[in-house]
Amino acid sequence: MALTSGIVLYAVLWFLTFLMAIPIRLQTQGDVGEVVPGTHAGAPEHHNLKLKAKLTTLVAGVIWLVLFWIITTGFITVRDFDFNNVMSPLPVSDETGG
């Protein structure tokens, strides 16, 4: 895996994880019962974004490490998803060495 693709994969994982973490334990103004005039009752009162960003960084890092291992070791390859045999067969290696 090249450096650029590793960074892009981590960024995608980070944002995906962060967007899933944002609504967890979110308290809105309507939940608290203190709606500021001119705002929506669904506006966040306590969002804890710093904590969620830190946890997201750790979780995305673990997921990235697992995917990095899978990609670099070849544990799962693109050919594993070729259910219709569209890809050409793998070349047979010459066992005679010559």
pLDDT at position 70: 94
At CA 5, angle to CA 2 and CA 7, rounded to 5?
110
Is the entire prediction scored with pTM above 0.85? no
φ/ψ region of 20 (left if φ > 0, alpha if ψ in -120 to 50, else beta) reads: alpha
SS in 3 state form for 38-82? Answer: CCCCCCEEECCHHHHHHHHHHHHHHHHHHHHHHHHHCCCCHHHHC
Helix (H) or strand (E) run with residue 9 in it: helix 3-21
| 3-state DSSP assignment of residue 91 | coil
pLDDT at 65: 97
pLDDT tens column, 25-60: 888 888 888 888 998 888 888 889 999 999 999 999
- 3 pLDDT more than 90: yes
CA distance 97 to 94: 6
Rounded mean pLDDT, 72-95: 83
8-26 tens-digit pLDDT: 999 999 999 999 999 998 8
pLDDT of amino acid 2: 92
The backbone torsions φ and ψ at residue 28, rounded to the nearest 5 degrees and listed phi first, read -90, 170
